[in-house]
Structure 1
Amino acid sequence: MTHIGKQACGEAAGRVAARIMRGQPGDWGMDIESWDWNPGVGIIALMDYYERSERQDVLDFTIRWEARNRSQADSRKVINGMAPYAVYPMLYELTGDAYYREHALRIGEWMLTEAPRTRNGAFEHTVTESEQFAEQAWADTVFMAVLFLARLARVSGERKYAAEALHQLQLHFRLLQDAGTGVLFHGWDCTRNDPMSGARWGRANAWVALATPMIVQELEGIMAVPEAIAERQIRLLHGLNAYQAENGLWPVVVDRPDYRHELSGSAGIAAGFRKTAKLGWVGDSYRAAADLTLARVLEAVEEDGSVGGVSGGTPVLPSEEDYNAFEVRPTLYGQGLALMLFNEYL
């Protein structure tokens, strides 16, 4: 990136981060004051931004946000609600407050011993809403829950969390990766032994493409990462690279070029390209592909810092067509994925 490009990313990152912190009470998409995956992604991205910017106001906001919302956490003890805990290890290291470490260990034990699993051992994708997705494994889980386990392993030194993180990552790859294209299905029904609608949803691919190098980085020096994980990540990125549109974005269903382009999935995939290249698993062509995406995501940042072109919160839908028809709205996870892409250039 040129100096001008870095400056543009810095300005956009600041506006997007400010929009996350400002929130919008009563609007599910932008309400930061709740304990769930959507604000959790925003908080994870804010702390990723703090690591690069060292802005004290961002750290102070995150500390206050956790204190305000921790009372909700125990009533939302589901896999999708694990996302906010991913910042606990870093908060512990930055503040020295033992609460973060002790509570993270308690949640880690819950995940290892009590969290519902499918018949083949994958975390069942439980959510804070009343809906049940029995025997379903979703790509979302890798970012929402497995990333936390990897970070907990690093801060605690407990190898059992690292082992479970790698086990879950391999399981989700094995269940969700399409042998023909290398890209991922959104979910897998372990009772029916099929990918349900069979949609290769963009944001599902983003969750795994981005979380995998983050998990690997957290586990460096703690536990060796199986070669199969690197091989599957490379296959995933190779498959995604083949579906990138000329404008740098991906369709809402990645192998459907006739479908609309979607910003959050595209930003997450591009950030995953950058992070995986840093591991040395893929070459510079993936950085160039991410640069194309960056230009389009920068254009999607509105004056108030909102990121446009983001699909609403999406369960595994009945058909590919339903993904293309789903609502488009600003969301905290859309803000977060865009911010994580910008952070890669700071």
Structure 2
Amino acid sequence: MRSEQHKGNWAMDMEHWDWVPGVGAISLLEYGTAAGAEKVTGYLLLWVKRNQAKAEGALVINSLAPYALFPELYRLTGDPWFLSKAQDVAGWILGSAPRTREGALEHTVTEAAEFPEQMWADTVYMAVLFLARLAGLSGDRRLAEAALHETLLHLRLLQDPETGLLFHGWNSRAGDHMSAARWARANAWVVLSVPEIVALTGRIAAVPEELYSRYRKLVSALRLVQGAGGLWHTVLDRPDYYLETSASAGIACGFFKAVRVGLLEDSFLGSAVKALEGILPLIRADGEVEGVSGGTPVMPSVEAYNAVQRYPALYGQGLVMQLLTEAMTQQQLDSIDSI
């Protein structure tokens, strides 16, 4: 798995099995489901078929993102392969995946790099969301409890007690947050994932009150550092750093979702709409989304985050697509309420 090569432009290459095309594919499925676009579902079925051989091999956290499609693809097609493969992957997560000394999933990647006993916020979206979706499909209480426990562990270990924002990562060996950057996209992965995780698992298992309270503390902190134009800075508490589109889209989409499922009050819609208005001018006529920062491990310093280059990326395209899809859904709900 680690030696699998992508084709051409890594950030815009759908033809490999990793988190980048995974976020793009998840986003397409959300749009296709909301819009009733069977053509999109058909594309994704063909995409999985073309790339499923690349999914075979050593499992790592970042290669799990595409599996978040499988519960819905199983529901749509009835193909038992989707369910069987999803159950195998969930078994690896629960039984074999490397963990930190606190019991949290260690963040592992497809590249030839290791981050022993490091926990990254990215994992909540790349792996825990999949567990919650499979739990929602199967009604498996063990999966639901695992998804909730993992989410809460990430919030506990990453949340800054002073600001309420999340640090990018945690190093269990050193007992610190490494560069201690409150990186925007790290916060976005969690803000975006939690509403769906809670909605899916809350029907099967009890959601800890601590998870609710930490999430509310996080989103309240994010509203305080939102830029005047609606976007968030790539390091949240550094207003002198550049504004970043993918994180802003993920955070705003999370706000929309959290309001829709009853996790947040309607007042958060104002922040989400403000971000949407700031993002729309960054979508070019050809659909390319501008202002997206490149793939970012935990950087050696806070300053290094501001030096990450910006270029088109499937996760940027996808997060903006998710925001537009959720905004469309929210508008439809508002229309229904007004009747």
TM-score higher than 0.5 here? yes
Match of 1:13 in 2: none
**Structure 2 residue 275 is the aligned partner of structure 1 residue 315:** no
Alignment correspondent of 1:176: 158
1:72 aligns with 2:57: no
- The answer on whether the counterparts of 1:142 and 1:211 sit within 8 Å (CA) in structure 2 is yes
Matches within 5 A, 1:238-253: 238-253=220-235
Bigger shift: residues 199-208 or 222-231: 222-231
Who is 2:33 aligned against? 51
Separation in 2 of the partners of 1:159 and 1:306?
A: 41
8 Å CA contact retained: 2:276, 2:323: yes
Q: Which residue of 2 aligns with 1:130?
A: 112
State the 4+ residue runs in structure 1 displaced beyond 6 angstroms.
none
Contact residue 203 and residue 268 of structure 1 kept, 8 A: yes
Q: Structure 2-normalised TM-score?
A: 0.94
2:125 to 118, 131, 143: 143
Deviation at 1:280, TM superposition (A): 2.5
Once the two structures are superposed, residues 226-276 of structure 1 have per-residue CA deviations (whole angstroms, 9 ceiling, x without a partner) of 111111110000000000011000000001111110000000001111111
2:196 alignment partner AA: M
**Aligned-partner Cα distance in 2 for 1:327–1:204:** 17
Q: AA paired with 1:50?
A: G
For residues 54 and 220 of structure 1, the distance between their equivalents in structure 2, rounded to whole angstroms, comes to 26
CA distance in 2, matches of 1:140, 1:328: 19
How far off is 1:281 after superposition?
A: 2.9
What amino acid does structure 2 have at the position aligned with 1:226? P
Q: 1:110 aligns with which of 88, 92, 97?
A: 92
Q: Which residue of 2 aligns with 1:88?
A: 70
Corresponding residue to 2:148 among 149, 155, 166: 166
Structure 2 residue ranges without an equivalent (≥5): 1-5, 329-339
Task: Say whether residues 1:194 and 2:176 are aligned partners.
Answer: yes
Displacement of 1:318:
0.7
SS for the counterpart of 1:199 is coil
Residue aligning to 1:263? 245
Conserved in 1, the CA contact under 8 Å of 2:184 and 2:247? yes
Q: Within 5 Å, which residues of 2 pair with 1:234-313?
A: 234-313=216-295
The answer as to whether partners of 2:145 and 2:201 remain within 8 angstroms in 1 is no
Displacement, 1:337? 0.7
Report what 2:211 is aligned to: 229
Partner of 2:334: none
Amino acid in the other structure paired with 1:172: H
CA distance in 2, matches of 1:65, 1:278: 30
Once structures 1 and 2 are overlaid, which stretch shifts more, 243-252 or 214-223? Answer: 214-223
Deviation string 1:37-96 (CA, Å, 9 cap, x unpaired) is 010000111111012111111000100000111101122510111100001000000011
Instruction: Give a deviation string over 1:266-303, Cα, whole Å, max 9, x none.
Output: 00001111111123232222101110110121111112
Q: Does 1:203 align with 2:203?
A: no
Tell me the TM-score normalized by structure 1: 0.92
Q: How far apart, CA to CA, are the structure 2 residues paired with 1:104 and 1:180?
A: 39
**Higher RCO, Cα 8 Å, sep 6+:** 1
Q: Which moved more, 1:89-98 or 1:24-33?
A: 24-33
| Alignment check: 8 A CA contact 1:35 1:76 kept | no
Given that 2:256 and 2:327 are in contact with CA atoms closer than 8 Å, whether structure 1 keeps it comes out as no
* 1:17 paired residue number: none
| SS of match in other structure, 1:29 | helix
Looking at structure 2, the residues matched to 262 and 286 of structure 1 have their Cα atoms a distance apart, in angstroms, of: 20
| C-alpha deviation, 1:224, in angstroms | 1.8
Match of 1:16 in 2: none
Q: Quote the residue 1:324 is aligned against.
A: 306
CA-based RMSD: 1.1
Q: Is the 8 A contact 1:36 1:76 kept in 2?
A: no
Aligned position for 1:99: 81
What residue number does 1:335 align with?
A: 317
* Equivalent pairs, count: 323
